[in-house]
A and B are shown apart, each in its own frame.
Chain A
Amino acid sequence: MSATIIIWSVSIAQILLALAMVAATLRLIKGPRAQDRVLALDTFYVNAMLMMLTFGIRTGGELYFEAALIIAVLGFVGTVALAKFLMRGEVIE
């Protein structure tokens, strides 16, 4: 019984998260400006991190947690670098 509940609810959550990633991708493609695309990429990273956590709940695997942590860290660093680039046109001054 509880296996059915977990599989179904996590599947629904993963569909919702996949739709969220689609919305972020649409904004990433459409733009219209560079800052919109960077914001969409950052949102995409967060959605992917949450997706990893739901995979962890689904399978009971602990490794997904570490993957989620790494995605969070890389997403932060990437977005900061891109925002810095937008501000001045170069990453390292």
Chain B
Amino acid sequence: MIAPGDLPLWAAIIVGALTIGGAAFTLVGSFGLWRLRSFYDRVHTPTLGTSLGTVLIIVASMICFTVLESRVILQELLIFVFVSVTTPVTLMLLARAALYRDRAEGNASVPPADPQPILKAREAEPDA
């Protein structure tokens, strides 16, 4: 069993600093989720955790295991690729769902729906 205590000093310092940095960014993101006023403001802050927060912790983990096992460990890259591709999808879907719900309730603080698609559908009907 390998233990992180076997890391050389320079690697331990880098890994520790990167881990704390990533955790701090994630905390600020979640803190903003708690503090900001409206849903549309809050939807921005979790991306702190999924962009720089995740990247820093993943780099720390890669350095840690690469130095420990004396071979290149890159499997953490998979988490980075997966998180950076899926987060925009979930946030977009959530924001659009919120927009849809606010519009359906006639909330005046959100912009109204584009009238274009309905007009288009009407124009398309005679051809069909």
Number of interface residues of B (CB under 8 A): 59
Task: For B33, list chain A residues within 8 Å (CB).
Answer: 23-24, 27, 39-40, 43
Contact status of A54 and B19, CB under 8 A, knowing A2-B5, A5-B12: yes
Q: Which of A30-88 contact B (CB under 8 A)?
A: 33-36, 38-40, 42-43, 46-47, 49-50, 53-54, 56-60, 62, 65, 68-69, 72-73, 76, 79-80, 83-84, 86-87
B20 near A16 (CB under 8 angstroms)?
yes
A84 to B33 CA separation, bound complex (whole angstroms): 21
The dominant DSSP class at the B interface is helix
Closest to B5 in A: A3
Please pick, from B34, B42, B79, B97, the residue contacting A72 in the complex, using a CB distance under 8 A: B79
Closest to A6 in B: B4
